[in-house]
Amino acid sequence: MRKKILGLTIMTGIAVATLLNAVTARATSDAFVWKDAKYGYTFSFPDSWGIQTKETPDMRIRIAGPINADWATCSIQVKKDGRLQIYPKRLMTQAVDDTLNKTFWTRQVGEHDNAVIRDYIAPASLGGRGDATAIKETFVQDTGNGKINMYGEQIASIYGNMRYVASCSARIDQYNKYAPLFASIMGSVQLASRYAPFATGYYRDFLSDGHLALPRTKPGTIYIKNSFPVLQQ
């Protein structure tokens, strides 16, 4: 049983329904729920997929499908990026759109040969918390035994002081087979909470409470002085 790979914790035996429905190689399958011990986020992938060696300092994990000829892979890169910490959460959608724009993606896909951005999506969301933008691209992969055409998708988010980029790709003629699974893998990313649930820090909106009736005479009563009947002795 694998317990740690690349210093990051893997919890096994947890079934993820959306992943299992997309896996056609096995009649039944479990999924790994993988947690990054350094940054705290998690994501899920089928246990029939293998974890490969990290390729760059920013890459936290790279996984590959069981059919080598399809070149189906997914990865997550994480890098510190504190440019947007000055913005409150309510302004982050626009701030991320302006930062992770087409110029950002042109640089990002530069790591692929002959990359062409086919679609640009903004706004998007990563893990239900991180404001994001996304693309779809084509590029050329050198397999060592020749070059093949690839199709992939990437989603990037700045959340807190970190930038996350999740990506998946496969041979262009096999991409449609993997598209539902890719969507499930990237959709399973859960970012560790970085923002307070209430912008003002209240646990409730006490400013909307009714007016408080203060005592007119002495502490402990709101009755006007001499309003009580006096018993004659």
Enclosing H/E stretch for 133 = strand 130-142
Domain count, the chain: 1
Sole residue written with tokens 């994990």: 61
Phi, psi of 47 (to 5 degrees): -75, -5
- Write down the pLDDT at residue 9: 34
The pLDDT assigned to 209 comes to 74
Does residue 58 belong to any structural domain of this protein? yes
> Among residues 49, 23, 90, 64, which one has the least CA distance to residue 169?
64
H-helix or E-strand containing 61? Answer: strand 59-64
**Whether the predicted pLDDT of 101 surpasses 70:** yes
Report yes or no on 179 lying in a domain. Answer: no
As a whole number, mean pLDDT of residues 194-203 equals: 57
pLDDT recorded at residue 220: 57
Position 143 in a domain: yes
Containing domain of residue 110, as a range?
53-174
The residue among 52, 45, 18 whose CA lies nearest residue 31 is 45
User: Per residue in 4-56, pLDDT tens?
Assistant: 333 333 333 333 334 434 444 443 458 889 999 999 999 999 999 999 877 77
Whether residue 123 has a cis bond before it, omega within 30° of 0: yes
Query: What is the per-residue pLDDT for 10?
Result: 34
CATH code at position 166 = 3.40.1000.10
100 or 8, higher pLDDT: 100
Mean pLDDT throughout 99-106?
A: 97
Residue at 107 is within a domain: yes
* pLDDT above 60: residue 187: yes
Residue 229: pLDDT over 60: no
| 108 inside domain | yes
Question: Quick one: average pLDDT of 47-69?
Answer: 91
Mean pLDDT of 197-218: 61
pLDDT at 87 over 50: yes
Asked if residue 185 is part of any domain, the answer here is: no
pTM, 2 dp: 0.73
2 vs 128, more confident:
128
Per-residue pLDDT tens for 117-172?
999 999 999 988 899 999 999 999 999 999 999 999 999 999 989 999 999 999 99
Distance from chain centroid for Cα 201: 24
Q: Is residue 105 domain-resident?
A: yes
Contact 85, 167 (CB under 8 A): no
Question: What's the mean per-residue pLDDT of the chain?
Answer: 81
Per-residue pLDDT at 57: 84
What percent of the chain shows pLDDT beyond 70? 73
Judge whether 147 lies within some domain: yes
d(CA 30, CA 14): 6
Q: List, as one string, the DSSP characters of 119-172.
A: EEEEEEEETTTEEEEEEEEEEEEE-SS-EEEEEEEEEEEEETTEEEEEEEEEET
